[in-house]
Chain A
């Protein structure tokens, strides 16, 4: 077992890679009532073309299957997963993102029993044609719930403006048509490929004895039979560097229009510190230019173009990346024009040292504040670890960033052809 200490953060993290390849991380939190664990596979909605375990041909699977699989793993032949957790004061859930599927629980007692339940239920699939069919009705309603959600529509609207073929453009839950093609056999194939322990990470956080918990996981895994697996060949289609359309709009049963501008990041296969640094630099640039202390934000607010819903975010992963900025507006055309002009001007912009330092301090404070949440630590740590980034290195990397780095980043990132606008408008 390895241990890494972060004295400044008053945190200590323990790590071991088990024989079957599973990565186990533990972070003790003295005095917390709650323990929290996530068991995550590096498998999300974008992984729809891959070579299945023990096969040699690349295979395409229906959209939304990773999320479907997440639902179906909760179904067992002879017990109810939620009940089993609840009997030991645990509460379980799961989620699927572009790049991950995570199973999790929180509990205030019986950590060992709950941890065993988590690992065992994820590692014992039970799919039948009958239960798969029944789930289609439930997921169809989940799809329709998102259909009625304007924020979700705007989010995928702008992503679809940016990307031509990359599966990031597909709704994570799939469509009613695509999930109709899912079978128990396909689920097993995806499961065998992506739920191999060597593609997974277990994170446990709470008030517990590290040796005791690690022993339990070691024994649990040693009792299960896993053959050695090679890294999974995954395929992503060729993606142009530029945005697919400059502007597009859609109508919906809403009262307030929404506008989002997006920028596509063409840099592929970035990982580790390089990826983290690019992500942090971009976030700092957005804070400086669009943040609530910026001149531009103040002018948009005073001109009546935005309101408190205005926001921005950046997502950088090894195979895709983008930033979004926008929100609700009474003047979708004017806001679109203004945001585009601003974004296009950023490749030439020079940043102010004093403001830069302030934003850096803000990011340090916000990061510390996020560490109050055991959920944040476990989920963010896992997401980063899959991209070879150490979550607790954020403060060091933040401090490394210079104002010249920002200028350089802005110069290469804010390219007019990579910018697109999406408008969600009230139905006339």
Chain B
């Protein structure tokens, strides 16, 4: 595997050469600071662009062309990462080597991305009205459907509640109430802003030639976005006076317990790798304390795990339980964190977490998105890490360092989605 970076095209182009895959993957990331007034429009933009362009006037035409490129798949999405809101495009294309006829699929793909991103179906100041109206409807229906997935709904509510007064509580996909105010003109204005002010990074992964890919981009994508990189890590803090308890009742059959914590440790901090190991011991795996104690010992649940947000410094614990077991589950979870703080863990637990983490990391490098992920991570670290350095860092974590990061972790909010007519203790 070989990584190259080109910085003279008005954006960052990273090329990763590997012969592991039968496809090539191109990713575009437009990054800007998240903002309540623009988030809904930014959530619409990638879908409007993915709908129609000058050359491919409808979704049907665009999808037809993608199919003719041996089932190329083009996805548009948005994500929230720390302080930023990112618009992303992924295009996955079959590597020409595996199909009989020699079509320049990669070059066709890059041209297509140019068409989709730079030549939308629009006049000089507005998108096509019908495209915008259709995408508004689809976004509205998507946001509404989030309510139906109770596990992710509960997690979303937890974040909204615990980060209420912070920018981080802004919903990634935007807000239904904004949609009425959005039209083809003001959306187009935000699109222009995206092209001009966002930080753009492009990644290409596959069995490619670095220089050849660079040349194609040089010929097709000569435009300058903002080269100023944006602060991603969100350091906004909050004083926790008392743990908040929020309960919501719905007609469901299982209680969804979500607990939010502040880790006060972020990706750019020196103890970031220690926190990853901590999470591996606490709730990241099937040998972790949460799984062993809440599920295996107490039989309270099918899943109980913890997850980190290292751009913001948060940890979430989530589990599905019988409503009447609420207090018992919370007590066991609290006890596990206390044990971590008190150093009540074995060398074996520490060792298992490190091995599992390293295994997960190495496995991710067998996927094109994992390779891109590691490069993106490196952009955020004070000093870029090679895979070997990353592994060494994880291996070097000690038990007392684990206790130190555990001590910093503060419980912030509990969100419990529960069934009707059962009053769990303590909520």
Contact = CB atoms under 8 A, between A and B. Distances in A.
Interface of A: 8-10, 29, 31-34, 80, 82-83, 86-92, 106-108, 134-139, 141-142, 144-145, 147-150, 253-256, 291-295, 297-298, 301-302, 304, 307-309, 328, 330, 358-359, 361-366, 368-369, 371-374, 427
Given A145-B254, A298-B60, A374 B147 contact: no
Nearest to B18: A31
Nearest to A147: B253
Interface stretch (B180-188, B227-235, B266-274, B354-362): B354-362
B23 interface: yes
B418 to A, nearest CB: 11
A70 to B, nearest CB: 13
B114 interface: no
A29 to B, nearest CB: 8
B301 A138 contact: yes
Interface in B307-363: 320-322, 348, 351-352, 355-356, 358-360, 362-363
A358 B67 contact: yes
Contact of B137 (A89, A144, A304): A304
B63 interface: yes
B389 interface: no
A362 B320 contact: no
Closest 8 pairs (CB-CB, A-B): A365-B70, A365-B71, A137-B299, A362-B71, A144-B254, A142-B302, A108-B362, A82-B286
12 contacts: A91-B285, A91-B363, A108-B359, A138-B295, A141-B321, A144-B320, A145-B302, A147-B252, A255-B147, A301-B134, A366-B71, A369-B73
B250 A141 contact: no
B285 A253 contact: no
Given A32-B20, A91-B360, A374-B366, A254 B253 contact: no
Given A255-B148, A308-B138, A373-B367, 6 more contacts: A33-B366, A108-B359, A141-B300, A141-B321, A293-B66, A369-B94
Contacts of B368: 372
Contacts of A31: 18-20
Contacts of A427: 251
Contacts of A106: 359, 363
Nearest to B69: A365
Interface string B1-44: 00000000000000000111111000000000000000000000
A369 to B, nearest CB: 5
B64 interface: yes
Contact of B70 (A108, A144, A364): A364
B218 to A, nearest CB: 27
Contacts, number: 183
B253 A144 contact: yes
Contact of A302 (B19, B134, B351): B134
A362 B141 CA distance: 29
Interface of B is mostly: mixed
Interface residues of B, number: 68
A353 to B, nearest CB: 14
A86 B360 CA distance: 11
Q: Which of A8, A291, A365 has the most chain B CB atoms inside 10 A of its CB?
A: A365
A357 to B, nearest CB: 9
Contact of A364 (B99, B250, B363): B99
Interface in B67-99: 67-73, 92-95, 98-99
Contacts of A88: 355
Given A255-B144, A292-B63, A372 B356 contact: no
B333 to A, nearest CB: 15
B390 interface: no
Given A141-B322, A366-B71, A298 B58 contact: yes
A368 B320 contact: no
Nearest to B349: A83
Given A89-B358, A372-B22, A363 B71 contact: yes
Contact of A255 (B64, B70, B137, B145): B145
A21 B241 CA distance: 65
Contact of A292 (B59, B285, B367): B59
Which of B68, B348, B352, B366 has the most CB atoms of chain A within a 10 A radius of its CB?
B366
Contact of B142 (A139, A301, A307, A372): A307
B359 A359 contact: no
A365 B141 CA distance: 31
